[in-house]
Amino acid sequence: MRTSPKAARALAIGLLVLSLTGAVSGCGDDDAASSGEGASTVELKSSEGTEAGTVTFVPKGDGVEVEAELTGLTPGFHGFHIHETGTCEPDAPMGAFDTAGGHYATGSQTHGDHVGDMPTLFASEDGTARATFATDRFTLEDLADDDGSAVMVHADRDNQANIPDRYRAGTQPGPDMDTLDTGDSGDRVACGTVSKSS
């Protein structure tokens, strides 16, 4: 029996759709099977001690996938970083969570290029923020070293130290040291620790 060109085209399209559906389905199954393997979920608390959500690190290749679900934030943008020490003390002498140290970094990196710099979070009107992204800047093993590390949310938006030289910080053009260290993200409002036991 001879097939018309129109019927042949429809058959080819149907086979292509089935093939793509199978490929997508297969990818989803693989991801589902591996998504929980070796994952670590960090619970964050606010500087007032209330629950502030979770950040989950899922090992992926040479890095991790980061899944953040946060609550209780003021609407707008918030700096979101890994800090160098796994200590979250809301009543630290120098300010809430100051004992977590500076941003997780290697060598002489400045802000925007710190290993622990992550994409800025956006909180909606109800104070919730969600983000999912992948990074190869660090692994879960890097974060859970001897002194651990901390996941930090800041009160203000993160400018990623993006201050053009036409602006002046004091007598020098461009960003000042605070901008180069933190991106002017402001106070630390939520913190959670990553350690070997987390």
Alpha-carbon dihedral angle through residues 62, 68, 73, 74, given to the nearest 10 degrees? 70
**pLDDT in single tens digits along all 198 residues of the chain:** 444 444 444 434 343 333 333 333 333 333 322 345 689 999 999 999 999 999 999 999 999 999 999 999 999 999 999 999 999 999 999 999 999 998 888 888 876 778 888 999 999 999 999 999 999 999 999 999 999 999 999 999 887 767 666 666 667 766 667 766 666 777 899 999 998 765
* pLDDT at residue 11 in the model: 37
CATH dotted code for 40-194: 2.60.40.200
Q: How far apart are CA 107 and CA 71, in angstroms?
A: 34
What is the three-class DSSP state of 182? helix
Side chain identity at residue 132, one-letter code: T
What is the three-class DSSP state of 135? strand
Please give the DSSP secondary-structure letter assigned to residue 47. T
Please give the DSSP secondary-structure letter assigned to residue 88. -
Q: Is the pTM higher than 0.95? A: no
Closest CA to 112 of 81, 140, 139: 81
Alpha-carbon dihedral angle through residues 71, 76, 79, 80, given to the nearest 10 degrees? 30
Closest CA to 65 of 41, 29, 100: 41
Residue 186, phi-psi category: left (phi > 0), alpha (psi -120 to 50), beta (remainder): left
